[in-house]
């Protein structure tokens, strides 16, 4: 499975940290599935600086990517989503979302999607409904807004910037990259810090 991560300046490190760690390490992924290929993409292949000051260099320019059905595109939050250079990826999302590419957007990326009108007829969430209505003139999707940390509607996943765990859970659930019992134990372990879920997690991957 190909996983594309859009890289932009001021990327919010914590919002995708759980997800990238599990996708990259593969430690709890279902070993009966094809391996995950992570590809970092950007408007250029010039390095960016995350909000945490980490330098990340994209692997590919977005102009060179051909998305296919069931690919995953992760759109992290950032303070720079309103900049002109990031409109290209949102235009691409607008053209591929109906082709069953899985779009996973968190925090500021949901603002960009709302501005494009992509959230007007799909269930979604964001940091706050009033924030979307105030700053997104093309947004008319109030009736589809769900006040939850993360929401999945078919191949669209959206989340608040303060819900990186729930965001990761929804992505892993939608992609079936973990067995159900593994995912539930993994989520509950990080959510509750109860050691019984660590044992459940280990049991779920024994012999895998």
Which positions are catalytic? 107
For the chain, the helix, strand and coil percentages under 3-state DSSP, each to the nearest 5? 40, 15, 40
CA angle 63, 158, 24 (to 5 degrees): 65
Q: Which residues pair with 102 in a beta bridge?
A: 72
Task: Please give the helix or strand (H or E) that residue 199 lies within, else none.
Answer: helix 195-205
Q: Nearest CA to 107 among 69, 149, 68?
A: 149
């Amino acid at each position: 499975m190909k996983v594309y991560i859009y890289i932009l300046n001021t990327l919010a490190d914590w919002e995708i940290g759980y997800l990238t760690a599990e996708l990259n390490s593969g430690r709890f992924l279902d070993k009966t599935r094809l391996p995950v290929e992570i590809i970092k993409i950007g408007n250029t292949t010039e390095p960016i600086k995350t909000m945490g000051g980490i330098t990340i260099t994209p692997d590919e320019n977005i102009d060179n990517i051909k998305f296919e059905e069931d690919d995953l595109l992760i759109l992290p939050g950032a303070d720079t989503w309103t900049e002109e250079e990031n409109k290209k990826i949102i235009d691409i999302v607008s053209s591929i979302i109906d082709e069953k590419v899985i779009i996973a957007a968190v925090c500021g990326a949901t603002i960009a999607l709302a501005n494009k009108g992509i959230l007007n007829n799909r269930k979604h969430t964001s940091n706050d409904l009033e924030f979307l209505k105030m700053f997104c003139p093309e947004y008319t999707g109030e009736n589809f807004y769900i006040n939850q940390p993360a929401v999945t509607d078919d191949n669209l996943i959206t989340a608040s910037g303060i819900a990186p765990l729930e965001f990761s859970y929804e992505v892993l659930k939608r992609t079936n990259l973990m067995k159900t019992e593994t995912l539930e134990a993994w989520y509950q372990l990080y959510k509750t810090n109860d050691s019984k879920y660590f044992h459940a997690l280990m049991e779920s991957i024994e012999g895998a």
